[in-house]
């Protein structure tokens, strides 16, 4: 019996999990060549069938866009064309592994060479299809996470996170990863416990483990006493959560009687299915990168319209703030973003949208058409000079005129901005053309402290409670109040009950938080008073 | 000789013969016993309309003129139904492809 191993990481999504370790073996597994071409061919056929089965079973748990994409993967796999090309190569002496890889690589290359962004983006699907079959061929288990397991991996792609059924428990312990990555956001939204940056410690596959993503530790092969202690902590935390949950439907009012708006951040239209609309004051941030990102490719106008309408219908008249695509930085999108050395300071957010008007205008049209269906606000990310608001407004006006001349129902939404670049936070008056301000504390912090937020070695530097960051937040909040420009904060700081007091102290009264944190944040607001909060 | 049908249509939906449209297109083609092929010019190459890999591989964007031909049983119905699907904008909603 192994002695317990205590491994520390950074808490990325709070929660507890007790289960077997599932170790991803991505590298180091070589394909073992078979003795004859016939056996190679057979191995390939079996692998394609197994991969198809895997996709079919993942598909049965999904609906909407995610299911459509998997249906497409399945159809591509079952088509037989790739197998036929690979079979020819096997006949000429190649292994099943090399033959399949070569067949798909050639196809991927032809997609990447396409001038059409929509087709170019599909190369990500083909990579996924290629890797699924290759991992079956090498016996690599990285693709199948057992339900309830604590998955240990270098990092994990959002699409894989979404494809897994987390309702049976389990969690994530990533060797690298980042608390601000998209997967971390998804994990927080769904309440899946996750820690990151656990490093290269040796961890035994299938060992019993306790994941405490509150304090950020993974305990492998624990003693019974440690399990009992873990269960106590989990029970206490759950009781606290239950207490907060009971009050979740009620408004958040400070001890001074001031009302505070608590909205939610979502990343995927499907997220609203898990949120009770009565508990929140609206959607403060709907990210749209996931509509674009990963294996979904670039979405067309109808697909976007359907996604926006779903959320507006759910909100039933409460405000819904949709952020235009915020790609670049740590959120690359195949076929869209530009590879850069210093991507956080590069062509990202609104800069990229304005540089690629042919893609931006599709999103603008979908937003204009969605607007009549609720209280829509559109938010521009990464604005750093006032001219960017004007340029975006002009594009909205042009598309609105086009829709009007084609008799398509539409409406001009309010257009506001994210405040995440210091230039805006220092001189907000220059940006008063914005209908609202939403402070993105994660990016604002990294830019103010010059500490890249995806660099684990700098994690001690990048905190929103830094006095310089708080002073900028207060500057924006007081300007917004004086000029009656609605000002809110949608960064991770708003989801942290320890930070809420400081943020209320800056004058902010509107926050957008991770769905799983609504109850806790409301509870923290109720304890706060301008005279000093009670602990 | 078995029955033969040929016709043409312009792709009008925004993204062309993309993932979802291709799935719908090949699924429908496979419901017919006849061979169904398409090309983007009279000189070919003629592409198997029942293979999603080949249909996607054609990378046909919006505005592409699609030539369709079928040979064998139900070839006329096959062509008519496939053309109707393209004209309906692959049922992606919003009235794309509606003649005005």
Q: Do A107 and B57 touch (CB under 8 A)?
A: yes
Shortest Cα–Cα distance, A79 to chain B (Å): 6
The beta-carbon neighbor of A71 closest among B23, B56, B57 is B23
pLDDT band at residue A164 using 50, 70 and 90 as cut-offs: confident
Q: pLDDT tens-digit profile of A348-394?
A: 999 999 999 999 999 999 999 999 999 999 999 999 999 999 999 99
Mean pLDDT over residues A258-280, rounded?
Answer: 92
Asked if the model's pLDDT at residue A259 lies above 90, the reply is: yes
Which residues on A lie below 8 Å from B88 (Cβ)?
Answer: none
Core vs surface per residue A342-356: b (16+ CB within 10 A) or e: ebbebbbbbbbbbeb
The better pLDDT of the pair A340, B68 is held by: B68
pLDDT band at residue A140 using 50, 70 and 90 as cut-offs: low
Contact present, A103 and A86 (Cβ < 8 Å): yes
Classify residue B95: in a domain, yes or no: no
Close Cβ partners of A36 (under 8 Å, ≥ 6 residues apart): none
Which residues on A lie below 8 Å from B54 (Cβ)?
Answer: 81
Asked if the model's pLDDT at residue B100 lies above 60, the reply is: no
Mean pLDDT over residues A267-277, rounded?
Answer: 87
Q: pLDDT tens-digit profile of B41-63?
A: 888 889 999 999 999 988 888 88
Shortest Cα–Cα distance, B94 to chain A (Å): 7
Q: pLDDT tens-digit profile of A323-340?
A: 999 988 766 777 778 777
Mean pLDDT over residues A296-318, rounded?
Answer: 90
Contact present, A255 and A528 (Cβ < 8 Å): yes
pLDDT band at residue A167 using 50, 70 and 90 as cut-offs: confident
Shortest Cα–Cα distance, A399 to chain B (Å): 15
Considering only alpha carbons, which residue of chain B is nearest residue A106? Answer: B57
Asked if the model's pLDDT at residue A534 lies above 60, the reply is: no
Contact present, B45 and B93 (Cβ < 8 Å): no
Shortest Cα–Cα distance, A347 to chain B (Å): 25
The pLDDT score that the predictor gives to residue A449 is 94
Mean pLDDT over residues B13-32, rounded?
Answer: 89
Residues above pLDDT 90, as percent of chain A: 56
The better pLDDT of the pair A295, B94 is held by: A295
Residue in the structure block whose two tokens are 């539409």: A410
The better pLDDT of the pair A10, A459 is held by: A10
The pLDDT score that the predictor gives to residue A462 is 75
Q: Do B93 and A302 touch (CB under 8 A)?
A: yes
The pLDDT score that the predictor gives to residue A518 is 93
Considering only alpha carbons, which residue of chain A is nearest residue B23? Answer: A72
Asked if the model's pLDDT at residue A294 lies above 60, the reply is: no
Fold of A5-21+145-239: Glucose Oxidase; domain 1 (3.50.30)
Three-state DSSP state, B26: helix
Give phi and psi for A438, each to the nearest 5: -130, 115
Which residues on A lie below 8 Å from B23 (Cβ)?
Answer: 68, 71-72, 75
Asked if the model's pLDDT at residue A26 lies above 60, the reply is: no
Report yes or no: B18 at the A interface, CB cutoff 8 Å.
yes
Classify residue B98: in a domain, yes or no: no
User: What's the total number of domains in chain B?
Assistant: 1
Asked if the model's pLDDT at residue B30 lies above 80, the reply is: yes
The beta-carbon neighbor of B54 closest among A81, A118, A125 is A81
Q: pLDDT tens-digit profile of A94-119?
A: 999 999 999 999 998 888 887 777 77
Shortest Cα–Cα distance, B95 to chain A (Å): 10
The pLDDT score that the predictor gives to residue A535 is 43
Contact present, A324 and A287 (Cβ < 8 Å): no
Q: DSSP secondary structure string, A496-530? A: -HHHHHHHHHTT--EEEE-GGGHHHHHHHHHT--T
ipTM of the complex: 0.84
User: Could you tell me the residue ranges of all domains in chain A?
Assistant: 5-21+145-239, 37-137, 249-526
Report yes or no: A107 at the B interface, CB cutoff 8 Å.
yes
How many residues belong to chain B? Answer: 100
Report yes or no: B11 at the A interface, CB cutoff 8 Å.
no
pLDDT band at residue A480 using 50, 70 and 90 as cut-offs: very high
Contact present, A92 and A114 (Cβ < 8 Å): no
Report yes or no: B21 at the A interface, CB cutoff 8 Å.
no
Q: Where does residue B22 rank: exposed (0-12), middle (13-18), buried (19+ CB within 10 A)?
A: buried
> What H or E segment, with its residue span, contains residue A263?
strand A259-266
Which residues on B lie below 8 Å from A300 (Cβ)?
Answer: 13-15, 18, 92
Which residues on B lie below 8 Å from A82 (Cβ)?
Answer: 53
C-alpha–C-alpha distance, residues A18 and A233, integer Å = 12
Asked if the model's pLDDT at residue B99 lies above 50, the reply is: no
The pLDDT score that the predictor gives to residue A274 is 83
CATH number at residue B28: 3.30.1340.10
Close Cβ partners of A246 (under 8 Å, ≥ 6 residues apart): none
Q: Which of B3, B65, B78, B7 has the alpha carbon at shortest distance from B36?
A: B78
Classify residue B20: in a domain, yes or no: yes
Considering only alpha carbons, which residue of chain A is nearest residue B54? Answer: A81
Asked if the model's pLDDT at residue B83 lies above 90, the reply is: yes
Shortest Cα–Cα distance, A302 to chain B (Å): 7
Q: pLDDT tens-digit profile of A429-456?
A: 999 999 999 999 999 999 999 988 777 6
What is the DSSP secondary structure assignment for residue A32, as one 8-state letter?
A: P
The pLDDT score that the predictor gives to residue A219 is 93
pLDDT band at residue A200 using 50, 70 and 90 as cut-offs: confident
State CA B10 to chain mean position distance: 10
Shortest Cα–Cα distance, B48 to chain A (Å): 11
Report yes or no: B63 at the A interface, CB cutoff 8 Å.
no
Print the domain residue range for B14.
Answer: 4-89
C-alpha–C-alpha distance, residues A424 and B14, integer Å = 36
Q: Do A305 and B94 touch (CB under 8 A)?
A: yes
Asked if the model's pLDDT at residue A165 lies above 90, the reply is: no
Three-state DSSP state, A225: helix
CB within 8 Å of chain A, chain B residues 32-61: 51-54, 56-57, 59, 61
The pLDDT score that the predictor gives to residue A203 is 87
- The model's pTM is 0.63
The pLDDT score that the predictor gives to residue A456 is 66
- Most confident of the ranges A102-116, A198-212, A480-494: A480-494
pLDDT band at residue A1 using 50, 70 and 90 as cut-offs: very low
What architecture is domain A37-137?
Orthogonal Bundle (1.10)
The beta-carbon neighbor of A75 closest among B15, B16, B23 is B23
Report yes or no: B24 at the A interface, CB cutoff 8 Å.
no
Active-site position among B18, B34, B50, B70: B18
The beta-carbon neighbor of B53 closest among A81, A118, A303 is A81
C-alpha–C-alpha distance, residues A518 and A151, integer Å = 27
Q: Do B92 and A302 touch (CB under 8 A)?
A: yes
The better pLDDT of the pair A120, A466 is held by: A466
Q: Do B15 and A118 touch (CB under 8 A)?
A: yes
> What H or E segment, with its residue span, contains residue A120?
helix A117-121
Over chain A, what is the mean pLDDT?
88
Classify residue B94: in a domain, yes or no: no
Asked if the model's pLDDT at residue A400 lies above 50, the reply is: yes
CB within 8 Å of chain B, chain A residues 268-297: 297
- CATH superfamily, region A249-526: Phosphoenolpyruvate-binding domains (3.20.20.60)
Report yes or no: A65 at the B interface, CB cutoff 8 Å.
no
Region of poorest pLDDT, from A451-455, A513-517, B88-92: A451-455
Contact present, A326 and A348 (Cβ < 8 Å): yes
Q: Do B19 and A116 touch (CB under 8 A)?
A: no
The beta-carbon neighbor of B53 closest among A82, A119, A305 is A82
CB within 8 Å of chain B, chain A residues 115-154: 116, 118-119, 122, 125
The pLDDT score that the predictor gives to residue A528 is 94
Considering only alpha carbons, which residue of chain A is nearest residue B14? Answer: A300
Q: Do B19 and A297 touch (CB under 8 A)?
A: yes
Classify residue B38: in a domain, yes or no: yes
Report yes or no: B92 at the A interface, CB cutoff 8 Å.
yes
Give phi and psi for A3, each to the nearest 5: -80, 155
Angle at A265 between CA A511 and CA A478, to 5 degrees: 25
Classify residue B97: in a domain, yes or no: no
Q: Which of A106, A52, A107 has the alpha carbon at shortest distance from A78?
A: A52
Asked if the model's pLDDT at residue A13 lies above 80, the reply is: yes
């Amino acid at each position: 019996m192994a002695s317990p191993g205590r491994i520390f990481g950074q808490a990325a999504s709070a929660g507890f999990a007790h289960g077997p370790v599932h170790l991803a073996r991505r590298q180091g597994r070589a394909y073992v060549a078979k003795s004859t071409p016939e056996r190679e061919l057979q191995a390939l056929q079996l692998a394609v069938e197994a991969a198809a089965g895997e996709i079919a079973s993942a598909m049965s748990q999904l609906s909407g866009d995610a299911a459509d994409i998997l249906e497409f993967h399945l159809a591509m796999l079952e088509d037989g064309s790739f197998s036929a090309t690979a079979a020819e190569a096997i006949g000429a002496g190649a292994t099943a592994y090399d033959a399949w890889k070569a067949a798909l690589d050639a196809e991927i290359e032809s997609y990447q060479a396409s001038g059409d962004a929509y087709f170019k983006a599909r190369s990500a699907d083909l990579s996924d299809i290629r890797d699924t079959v290759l991992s079956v061929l090498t016996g690599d288990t990285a693709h199948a996470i057992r339900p309830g397991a604590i998955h240990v991996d270098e990092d994990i792609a959002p699409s894989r996170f979404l494809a897994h059924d987390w309702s049976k428990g389990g969690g994530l312990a990533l060797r690298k990863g980042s608390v601000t990555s998209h997967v971390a956001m998804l994990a927080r939204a769904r309440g899946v416990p996750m820690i990151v940056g656990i490093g290269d410690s040796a961890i035994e596959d299938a060992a019993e483990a306790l994941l405490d993503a509150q304090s950020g530790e993974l305990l492998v092969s624990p003693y019974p006493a440690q399990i009992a202690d873990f269960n106590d902590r989990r029970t206490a935390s759950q009781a606290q959560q239950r207490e907060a949950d009971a009050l979740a439907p009620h408004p958040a009012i400070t001890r001074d009687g001031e009302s505070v708006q608590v909205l939610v951040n979502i990343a995927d239209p499907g997220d609203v299915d898990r949120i009770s609309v009565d508990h929140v004051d609206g959607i403060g941030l709907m990210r749209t990168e996931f509509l674009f990102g990963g294996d979904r490719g670039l979405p067309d106008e109808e697909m976007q319209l359907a996604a926006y309408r779903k959320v507006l219908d759910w909100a039933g008249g409460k405000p819904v703030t949709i952020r235009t695509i915020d790609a670049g930085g740590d959120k690359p999108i195949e076929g869209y973003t530009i590879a850069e050395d210093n991507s956080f300071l590069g062509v990202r957010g609104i800069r990229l949208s304005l540089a690629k008007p042919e893609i931006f205008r599709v999103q603008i049209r979908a937003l204009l058409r969605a607007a009549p269906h609720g209280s829509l606000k559109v938010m521009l990310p990464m604005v750093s000079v006032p001219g960017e608001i004007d340029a975006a407004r002009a594009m909205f006006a042009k598309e609105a005129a086009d829709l009007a001349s084609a008799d398509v129902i539409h409406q001009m939404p309010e257009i506001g901005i994210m405040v995440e670049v210091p230039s805006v936070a220092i001189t907000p008056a220059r940006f008063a053309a914005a209908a609202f301000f939403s402070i993105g504390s994660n990016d604002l912090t990294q830019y103010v402290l010059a500490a890249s937020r995806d660099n684990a070695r700098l994690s001690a530097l990048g905190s929103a409670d830094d006095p310089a960051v708080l002073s900028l937040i207060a500057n924006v909040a007081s300007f917004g109040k004086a000029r009656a420009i609605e000002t809110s904060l949608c960064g991770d700081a708003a989801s942290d009950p320890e930070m809420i007091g400081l943020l209320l102290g800056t004058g902010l009264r509107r926050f957008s938080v991770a769905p799983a944190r609504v109850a806790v944040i409301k509870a923290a607001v109720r304890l706060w008073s301008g005279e000093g909060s009670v602990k | 000789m078995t029955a033969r049908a040929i016709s043409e249509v312009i792709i009008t939906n925004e993204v062309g013969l993309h993932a979802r449209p291709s799935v719908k297109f090949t699924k429908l083609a496979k419901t017919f016993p006849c061979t169904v092929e398409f090309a983007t010019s009279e000189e070919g190459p003629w592409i198997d309309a029942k293979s999603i890999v080949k249909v996607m591989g054609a990378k046909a964007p919006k505005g592409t003129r699609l030539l369709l031909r079928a040979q064998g049983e139900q070839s006329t119905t096959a062509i008519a139904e496939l053309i109707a699907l393209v004209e309906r904008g692959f049922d992606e909603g919003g009235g794309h492809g509606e003649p005005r």
